[in-house]
Amino acid sequence: MNAEEILQLLHAVDKKNVSPESALERLKHMPFEDIGFAKVDHHRALRQGYAEVIFGKGKTPAQAAQIAKAMLSKKGSRHNVLITRADAKMFAAVKRVARGAKFHPLSGVVTIERSLEITGKGTIAVVSAGTSDIPVAEEAVLTARMMGNRVTELFDVGVAGIHRLLEHRRELTEARVIICAAGMEGALPSVVGGLVGVPVIAVPTSTGYGASFGGAAALLGMLNSCASNVTVVNIDNGFGAACVASCINRL
């Protein structure tokens, strides 16, 4: 029951076709969302308003293709479509229903670009520490782009060669939001956070071995960052970092 239906009901009361008491009864039992009193689902809006997203992991290629097809045929929508955690097989299936689909094997992302509109106000810089952090960084880059943001990539600027990072201070200071993907000791966001005055979203990666404990070392490092403009998302969650960055960049 949406606002229109409620209005109809109220008109029926107005016209004495329905008694106030039975109107109350109907109001009492109407499903929550349908009444349309409030736009509850900002979350869905957040994702779907700017890009349609499919989380590929755990889905069969056929399922992913079917969902993509449904998204593409939705009327009036020209949103970009993004499939994360996909593989070559899933891409092949998607390719059959979306000729323009592209596969990014490093990050396992499939993109179907339909809109080039830039909705983010500034630039999002995606910084990564080592070559093995690139898959996560790329997931962030592609997600941010598909959501309508300008993105600058600064890869392989880990803290053990600090000059590499310092060379790019200009790109850092020009960004409106920064995403920092780093594994191992996860020190990069602290250094970057100290160099800029904008929000830094830290993404620990599961890079490394031994005492990296699947990214836990980097995660803890980032949570304990001594830079006060750093927040953290889940290990390997390049997609989530880009969602938040995009959300900040539209403010």
Tell me the residue type at 78.
R
* Residue 2 binds its own copies (CB under 8 A): no
* Residue 215 binds its own copies (CB under 8 A): yes
Residues 6+ apart with CB under 8 A from 96: 65
CB of 128 to its own copies, least distance (A): 12
Per CB under 8 A, the list member of 1, 23, 48, 115 interacting with its own copies is 23
Among positions 78-117, residues that touch its own copies (CB under 8 A) are: none
Per CB under 8 A, the list member of 56, 120, 148, 193 interacting with its own copies is 193
CB-count exposure of residue 227 (10 Å: 0-12, 13-18, 19+): middle
Among positions 125-154, residues that touch its own copies (CB under 8 A) are: 129-132
Give 112 or 129: the residue with its C-beta nearer to its own copies. Answer: 129
Residues 6+ apart with CB under 8 A from 194: 227
DSSP string, 166-214: HTTHHHHHH-SEEEEEE-TT--HHHHHHHH-SS-EEEEE---S-GGGGG
Q: Taking contact as CB under 8 A, which single stretch among the options 73-81, 92-100, 112-120, 160-168 is the one that binds its own copies?
A: 160-168
* Residue 17 binds its own copies (CB under 8 A): no
CB of 73 to its own copies, least distance (A): 21
Which residues pair with residue 204 across a beta bridge?
182
Residues 6+ apart with CB under 8 A from 27: 6, 9
Give 127 or 191: the residue with its C-beta nearer to its own copies. Answer: 191
Residue 140: CA atoms inside 13 Å, Cβ hemisphere, count? Answer: 38
* Residue 24 binds its own copies (CB under 8 A): yes
* Residue 232 binds its own copies (CB under 8 A): yes
* Residue 60 binds its own copies (CB under 8 A): no
Using the CB atoms, write b or e for 118-152: b if 16+ within 10 Å. eebebbbbbbbbbeebbbbbbbbbbbbbbbbbbbb
* Residue 248 binds its own copies (CB under 8 A): yes
* Residue 213 binds its own copies (CB under 8 A): yes
* Residue 173 binds its own copies (CB under 8 A): yes
Alpha-carbon gap, residue 22 to 9, rounded angstroms: 10
* Residue 224 binds its own copies (CB under 8 A): yes
* Residue 77 binds its own copies (CB under 8 A): no
Do residues 182 and 122 make contact, with C-beta atoms less than 8 angstroms apart?
no
Query: Total binding residues for its own copies by CB under 8 A?
Result: 108
CB of 192 to its own copies, least distance (A): 9
